[in-house]
Structure 1
């Protein structure tokens, strides 16, 4: 067994010692009672004794081995056992005790550390109330971040503005440099032209003496061979041919002075002659301005383009539609091209120099490029205008083609067909046959689709509805009363019917149906209308309950709902019987009287009944009503009444769709009977005043135009012109009117006229802004900026920057232009906000719309109407209203239908008004 320190032996495990050593230890312990100290053998003493060099040194004063107890135990163990063996065992026991003590102390420390850790975790997890200092620190941090963000935004804006200014300055300098360069080039070219012209006009100085015949013979150079002789002959032949071609061109007399003295028609005829075209083509080909290998069509087009320069310079008013930047550039380049050309062909005997031919080629190319760009731009505008005219004629034909009885279609067909043929020929000439047909087809399809009947979303036919029988020979208007019999059935308070019902009255329905054959009651009311209707019924019911009439009101409401539901089903069917029995008025009255009426049972019955009656498109509303579990019975009853009104609207639209042809025939008679009941025996004071004012304006306009006295028969205003004048004054105006201003005969069109006035106000304001922008940017006023106009349509008149942003979305505005446009826009929008006409541009546009609408409505024959409709796009586009040609056309059609229905329904009343006005016996005036 190898030697080891005695500290490696465990005190309590004596069985692990060697057997011999164990026996010796037992013998020593047995002999411990003797006083004799037995010294172990040397090998054992050496084994169990601790060497001095291996003994552990004292570590610290606080160590357990250095304590008094340790020394005492060591001495006592030695004295007790009397030898090294007892000392060894005591050391092991003490060591074990130390270890156990240390283990306990370490365990306590670990437990204490765990407790500290748990307390720290709990303190950390527990919500800590923020102190005032922390709140101030957090607020300061947020303020600092906000300030830094604001500073960063301001810096970014300043950088952006600086970049913008730098870019504008750079572009301005580049434009100025380019302009100076172009001016310098033009000046050099002009100087070169003057120099060449001066050289050509200079005469050869006379010599002192003439050469003799012999001397001249000596100067003649004879060709040395046949090749040189051939070259001389060819040169002489080319010079002779050139002189012949130039002489033939000069004989035509195509100079700018002659063109200006000749009329435009004669110049057009002259330039289209074959001799002029052939001679000019030869001259251009001789000077290299045309390719010899090009086809005949290309040569003819290039020649006509060159000859157009004479028309542009000689008659610019007839050729150019306006004086924009592009037109000015075209005139300048045409002048340059003709000047260079005249310099070359000024003398047939002189050959042009290479420098002259180069300048002529550059000027000719520049003019061709400018002319092509101008022609394309003008052609596109002309194409759009003619397409709009073609579509307008097609829309008129679609409106009148179904009128077989009045023979209106026959009157219109010939005129529309003739005008459409002329437009088709012009479109094919400008755009080509294939492209023209494609453009016409697409435009007509788009127009018909926009004006076509809107298909309803979903099935709007009521499930329990059937086609009501119509008696065509009945003198009274039974169809409309049968189809919309629930119009007058509403809440018991008649004064609130219009506020709570979605259905208009019979007179309004017949009037709208006479104007628009496809008229249907609006099945998608706005949300505010729904809320207003529900709140009105609820308020009415609450007032009745507060006044003690709640029981009677419940019975009346049940009766109203019962009548509405019965009108939606077929009499004699199971649903009709179920509704009649379940909603019996006497039974409900007895239940209310005895206090046995149950709202829950009533609503449960209605929730099970309505899905069987409503149209499939109303399933969502009916389901929402069933899912609504509002505890307030009054609110639920009001919502139920609203849903039943929606079902009544669907049923009325279904009946209108089925009975529209017969209802339209009876519309005029029904309107006359209703008008008699409305006015009673009263006089038409407002109509008389309106007619008198329209007559005065018409006569003043006739005198202003003709300059004759209004007493002459030729200058008297007809009733048709007076009526159209009055109708146009009502519909086209931007100021509000009072109730006394609208005639009694047009009372049903009050909302329509109000809508037209608002639309006209938007049109003139937007058109004035766009027209100002086009003029400032030097754009064609006939060009259509439809996207910008559409964006401006929904903008309020208070946001001027939004109007400018709509233009800037497509066109970049220079700073000066933007400043001028902003000022003008604010002044124009002020008119829109105040509903007045003070700005000059707004005044002009409003007068143009009024004049155009009056012209189209006052056309007496079909030819005049077709002519006015076909030229509408051109007239409105040239007047700055290109973006609203379609809207104005639709307004004219609507006013025409209103005028036809009104004069047919109220003709005899208008006759009485005319007699009273002519006799100057106007009541109340």
Structure 2
């Protein structure tokens, strides 16, 4: 390699110098332009001005094609190295004349450098664009809802965890219980093993002590002695008296224990498998045998097992409790009415008879819960019997009280004995007294006579007509005593009479007598036309307001004063001091004269009325009349307020007239009751003779009832034995028709109502509504009990009463004004805690039940079964012919309803039965002869004499 002189500049300096020379020689070129082709001449800056082309090998080296041009060399390339630069410098020094070498080299180098600069610039631009896009993306608002999704995921997770916790609560409880049972079992096993080990150690110590006491055996040969010699040697070993007695007693006790165990296991054959294969009745009879009880008692005495109930007899109580474990394990479905947690725990403890005290404790707890339901049922039956006695105890003329007295007393004594046995004497007496007091308080809601008697009314003796006697016709009695409260009508004016009947608070005589026959404490309620009557009074007052404004108010004032005067005078007897006072205060001539001269004062008139009304009203009206009297004394100068006070005055006077009518009805009720059945017979016969009614609907109704009774009798007698007890009687056909008519789900049609029961239409409609309501609420509560695994016979009286009030007030459908739907309102009444899934399932069931109840078509199996059970129960009690059967049916009513799942509606069902019983009694007395006629025609026995419907 050629050496470089010290004066030679550095390669970088030479390169810079060559570039400057090229800039002076060559024009400016673009970095990306290709190197000139081979044929392009090279212009050299020499003195001669000639252009010398480079040699072919040099041109081929530097002037290459564009597509075959080599890529830029790396920093470590040979061309960029110092040796390459030095080689070129050396070569240039050798061939100084050829400057084209330098030009080509520097052109290519400049092109490479420029291309690199361009690529770096493009990369810088691209990096800046990426940075800008990243900055824009970072600064732009995020459109994702990550936070909402995270919150929703958290809520879903919490909900799922709550569901898992609620679902696993029962499993955790069960696992804890199993763990506790295992722990107790292991502890008992450890105690047993420890006791056995202590007994073994004691026995070993005893044998060791006895061995030491015996004489030391002589040394003998190693050959074992014969058996006879050994026995002989043992027999001749002397023993003291205590040791001999102890051995004999131990052998005797062991033999006795072995025989007791053999007698119990082999002799009796009592085991869980054997008990399960036997029938329940056979097992009950077997466990009640004296031999079984004695043997079991000996076994329990052997193991020193005592009863946990110290108040009971130790032997029999413990024995029966011990044997009940076999009965529970052998027939669990028959013993238990449900399969709850307490029942499962009792069965687990029954399998482990070694833990006897634990089993007895669990058995006592289950028996206590079961007995509480039985106590409530029997108390309800006791109260039902008391209600029947309160109804019939005053009927001494017909002998009904004597028939019922003995049967009710015997049934109540039996119930009282059972209740005291289960609940104890003190608690039983307290429960019965409380239940009877509550029942009588509900039934005794009417006010006493002193509260409803008007102050201006005379004594009962003076209020009756002078010619009234005990044998008087009820029609005359009703006309003379009650029609005084009705407005006077002109003779022959039929339209006025019909209008009077429409707006009168007092019903006609036939309805009055019938209502008294059904309920001897019947009182006239506010007329169903009271709203219409108030609207008419309001219209009259509005007309009077217009007349006063137009200057024609005098005739209106006189007419209103005359109306008020006539109504007030009807409340008192003629000749009474109050009668004279009212006539003097409301003097029509004086009022007419004052109105003609414009001197009439409404404020003075209202003040007089404020003084008169408190002297006429009954005590229970004091508050309402006092409030009106205060407003009347204040008066008003405005026409509008004056007319409003007048309207209120007319309304209160109508109420006082109604109170006076009830007072008169209370006085004449005994006379009307004595002739009620005869009066109804005469009225019904007159309607038949006049053609007002026929018996076509009664015949159709009786025919349907006969078919139903015959079908039921054939179903009970599949072998066609035709026993006399199964033959349908008139009483049974009538009871079937009455129950089918009253206990139904669809609305009552006029064509379905027989003519004989036309006056009881409102009662039948009310009973239909009550029956459907009982079925709906019973189905809801029964479903809730099953979902929550509660006892079916337990009484949810509070929930049932609240749901009853809701459905009675608002119906089955949700109203537009209510913000909460009807299923949600009913579901909120059930306060028992339940998981969300169970609550949702119960809500869907309630919605389905309410929809079916609203239409009256029961399609759900639960509602159909409950309604059929309710109907059968009512028919069983209504069809009872004798007093003894009625008492027995009433005694078993509570238990029957509890078994059917309607334990909360004992009072409502008792009311339905009582109402139907009274309807049957009154209807039979009034229309018995026509029922016999219809029965003969329907059954095709015209000439045959049938048994009378009412004896």
- Deviations for 1:830-887, whole angstroms, at most 9, x for unmatched residues? 1122232221111111111111111111111112111111111111110011000121
Q: 2:293 is matched with which residue?
A: 277
Q: 2:615 is matched with which residue?
A: 612
**Which is worse superposed, 410-419 or 860-869?**
410-419
Pair 162,816 (structure 1): closer, same or farther in 2 beyond 3 Å = closer
Pair 230,191 (structure 1): closer, same or farther in 2 beyond 3 Å = closer
Q: 1:61 is matched with which residue?
A: none
Q: 2:453 is matched with which residue?
A: 461
Equivalent-residue separation in structure 1 for 2:743 and 2:297 (angstroms): 56
Equivalent-residue separation in structure 2 for 1:595 and 1:291 (angstroms): 99
Q: 2:176 is matched with which residue?
A: 178
Q: 2:897 is matched with which residue?
A: 876
Equivalent-residue separation in structure 2 for 1:681 and 1:592 (angstroms): 53
Structure 2 counterparts to residues 786-865 of structure 1, below 5 A: 786-796=797-807, 797=812, 798=814, 799-807=822-830, 809=831, 811-865=832-886
Match of 1:666 among 672, 675, 681: 675
Instruction: Tell me if 1:682 matches 2:682.
Output: no
Pair 686,169 (structure 1): closer, same or farther in 2 beyond 3 Å = closer
Shift of 1:917: 4.5
Equivalent-residue separation in structure 2 for 1:321 and 1:163 (angstroms): 34
Q: 2:392 is matched with which residue?
A: 400
- Deviations for 1:37-66, whole angstroms, at most 9, x for unmatched residues? xxxxxxxxxxxxxxxxxxxxxxxxxxxxxx
Q: 1:484 is matched with which residue?
A: 482
For the residue of structure 2 that corresponds to 1:794, the secondary structure is helix
Match of 1:368 among 355, 360, 364: 360
Shift of 1:620: 3.1
**Which is worse superposed, 795-804 or 176-185?**
176-185
Pair 751,229 (structure 1): closer, same or farther in 2 beyond 3 Å = same
8 Å contact kept, 1:487–1:506: no
8 Å contact kept, 1:499–1:536: no
**Which is worse superposed, 372-381 or 764-773?**
372-381
Equivalent-residue separation in structure 1 for 2:309 and 2:664 (angstroms): 74
- Deviations for 1:698-721, whole angstroms, at most 9, x for unmatched residues? 333333433588999987743333
For the residue of structure 2 that corresponds to 1:726, the secondary structure is helix
Pair 592,162 (structure 1): closer, same or farther in 2 beyond 3 Å = farther
Shift of 1:293: 14
- Deviations for 1:720-769, whole angstroms, at most 9, x for unmatched residues? 33322232223212221233333333333222222222222221111001
CA RMSD, aligned part only? 4.6
Match of 2:518 among 497, 501, 515: 515
For the residue of structure 2 that corresponds to 1:860, the secondary structure is coil
Instruction: Tell me if 1:242 matches 2:257.
Output: yes
Instruction: Tell me if 1:718 matches 2:729.
Output: yes
For the residue of structure 1 that corresponds to 2:786, the secondary structure is helix
Q: 1:297 is matched with which residue?
A: 313
Equivalent-residue separation in structure 1 for 2:941 and 2:605 (angstroms): 65
Equivalent-residue separation in structure 2 for 1:736 and 1:399 (angstroms): 30
Equivalent-residue separation in structure 1 for 2:371 and 2:408 (angstroms): 24
Shift of 1:301: 1.4
Pair 576,271 (structure 1): closer, same or farther in 2 beyond 3 Å = same
Shift of 1:638: 3.2
Structure 2 counterparts to residues 8-407 of structure 1, below 5 A: 164-165=162-163, 167-168=165-166, 171=169, 174-175=172-173, 177-178=175-176, 181=179, 212-213=227-228, 232=247, 235-250=250-265, 252-256=267-271, 259=275, 267-268=283-284, 270-273=286-289, 275-290=291-306, 297-314=313-330, 319-321=335-337, 326-337=342-353, 360=354, 362=355, 364-407=356-399
Pair 557,210 (structure 1): closer, same or farther in 2 beyond 3 Å = farther
Q: 2:653 is matched with which residue?
A: 644
Q: 2:748 is matched with which residue?
A: 737
8 Å contact kept, 1:691–1:726: yes
8 Å contact kept, 1:457–1:617: no
Shift of 1:439: 3.3
For the residue of structure 2 that corresponds to 1:459, the secondary structure is helix
Equivalent-residue separation in structure 2 for 1:559 and 1:514 (angstroms): 37
Instruction: Tell me if 1:575 matches 2:570.
Output: no
Equivalent-residue separation in structure 2 for 1:291 and 1:326 (angstroms): 20
8 Å contact kept, 1:710–1:716: no
Shift of 1:818: 2.5
For the residue of structure 1 that corresponds to 2:660, the secondary structure is helix
For the residue of structure 1 that corresponds to 2:806, the secondary structure is coil
Give the TM-score of the pair, scaled to structure 1: 0.68
Match of 2:428 among 427, 431, 436: 436
Q: 1:450 is matched with which residue?
A: 442
8 Å contact kept, 1:502–1:646: no
Q: 2:766 is matched with which residue?
A: 755
8 Å contact kept, 2:456–2:616: yes
Equivalent-residue separation in structure 2 for 1:849 and 1:878 (angstroms): 11
Equivalent-residue separation in structure 2 for 1:783 and 1:700 (angstroms): 35
Pair 420,180 (structure 1): closer, same or farther in 2 beyond 3 Å = closer
8 Å contact kept, 1:562–1:579: yes
Q: 1:537 is matched with which residue?
A: 537
Shift of 1:460: 3.0
Instruction: Tell me if 1:631 matches 2:623.
Output: no
Pair 397,179 (structure 1): closer, same or farther in 2 beyond 3 Å = closer
